[in-house]
Amino acid sequence: MAATRGTLTIGPVTAAPGSVASGALQVPARAGDAGTTIPITIIHGASPGPVLALVAGVHGMEYVPVIALQRLRAALDPATLRGTIVMVHVANMPSFLGRTIYYSPVDGQNLNRVFPGRPDGTLSERIADVLTREIIARATHVIDLHGGDGNESLRPYLYWITTGDPSVADASRGVALAFGLDHIVVDDERPTEAAASMYLSNTAITRGKPAITVETGCLARIDEASLALVARGVAGVLRHLDMRDEGPAPVADPIWLTRNVVIRAGGTGLFYPSVHCGDVVAEGAGLGRVTDFHGRVVEDIHAPLGGEVLYVVATPPVTKGEPLAMVAATGRTPDARPSRP
């Protein structure tokens, strides 16, 4: 006799096997703020399998993943799905509705630096806490979908986190390849403590769940090519996890970006970039200039590493310490590294 598959309930949303249900998680008000909501969808497959969480909108002006998930919600068929997809349509509603890059308009925090969050903290910390307890805790695999924020000109790439449990890193590598983007940043600098995971995908990894962070879309624009990358990526992961029969094959020959540097502003003012995303630059090459508010050049920005420009800030405002660009390069292949204990 086949096992009976149960319903899945997350917050106020309950989905029966073979059905789709949507609703919103509540982040209650506390002294000083009004709380917020987190719209979610459960696509509960008719038969058992992995629970894949797809999270969009951690940053407020990264729209491609938000639109891509709306399309996927309409396109995915729970009758033929093995396992469950949990979508977070807009993780950071205050920043989305406030149209802010990086930081919440309510508390000034970057949601993707405050994980796993706190139930009695700032609004960003409470959003992180709800996402950790309600979404990541229930998932077996997590994809955090980002893109070029409102100020970032960005070429598509994803992060494969290698820190922590090697078996989790290995499984994350499979998800990364299945997503299909051919530029993969090998990230070996994330915290390994579950209580100080900082980032959403790292919150999953430090809890034993394979995860990746994906970057598609540029300067808050919504374009069909970027939307197609997300759709293709999710379809590839669904096939890889055996949640569907069909789907594109993993990327065959990715570029493993084993070295990267984020170049940050030394002062506050205006940034005039001299490169575009996707440009290949030599070590020491100029990336742009920072001026003060009167137009005097206060800083010439150079690439400390030769490589490809994955993103570059393409709108004028810059604040001391914030990123101006990210340059990444190939080095060792990850297959060649010694296995860690």
- Positions in the binding site for Zn ion (CB under 5 A): 59, 62, 146
Least distance (Å) between residue 49 CB and Zn ion:
28
| Residue whose CB is less far from Zn ion, 62 or 187 | 62
CB 180 within 8 A of CB 28: no
Least distance (Å) between residue 153 CB and Zn ion:
14
Least distance (Å) between residue 103 CB and Zn ion:
11
Residue 121 tokens read as 């903290």
| Residue whose CB is less far from Zn ion, 112 or 172 | 112
| Residue whose CB is less far from Zn ion, 199 or 271 | 199
Least distance (Å) between residue 15 CB and Zn ion:
28
Measure CA 253 to chain center: 22
| Residue whose CB is less far from Zn ion, 84 or 213 | 213
Least distance (Å) between residue 102 CB and Zn ion:
8
From the list 158, 140, 150, the residue with the least C-alpha distance to 50 is 140
| Residue whose CB is less far from Zn ion, 267 or 321 | 321
Q: What is the 3-state secondary structure (H, E, C) of the chain?
A: CCCCCCCEEECCEEECCCEEEEEEEEECCECCECCEEEEEEEEECCEEEEEEEEEECCCCCCHHHHHHHHHHHHHCCHHHCEEEEEEECCCCHHHHHHCCCCECCCCCCEHHHCECCCCCCCHHHHHHHHHHHHHHCCCCEEEEEECCCCCEEECCEEEEECCCCHHHHHHHHHHHHHHCCCEEEEECCCCCCHHHCECHHHHHHCCCCCEEEEECCCCCCCCHHHHHHHHHHHHHHHHHCCCCCCCCCCCCCCEEECEEEEEECCCCEEEEECCCCCCEECCCCEEEEEECCCCCEEEEEECCCCEEEEEEECCCEECCCCEEEEEEECCCCHHHCCCCC
Least distance (Å) between residue 204 CB and Zn ion:
16
Least distance (Å) between residue 60 CB and Zn ion:
9
Least distance (Å) between residue 87 CB and Zn ion:
17
| Residue whose CB is less far from Zn ion, 62 or 129 | 62
Least distance (Å) between residue 52 CB and Zn ion:
20
| Residue whose CB is less far from Zn ion, 59 or 244 | 59
Strands 323-329 vs 307-313: parallel, antiparallel or unpaired:
antiparallel
| Residue whose CB is less far from Zn ion, 146 or 173 | 146
Range 175-191 burial, b when 16+ CB lie within 10 A, else e: bbbbbbbebbbbbeebb
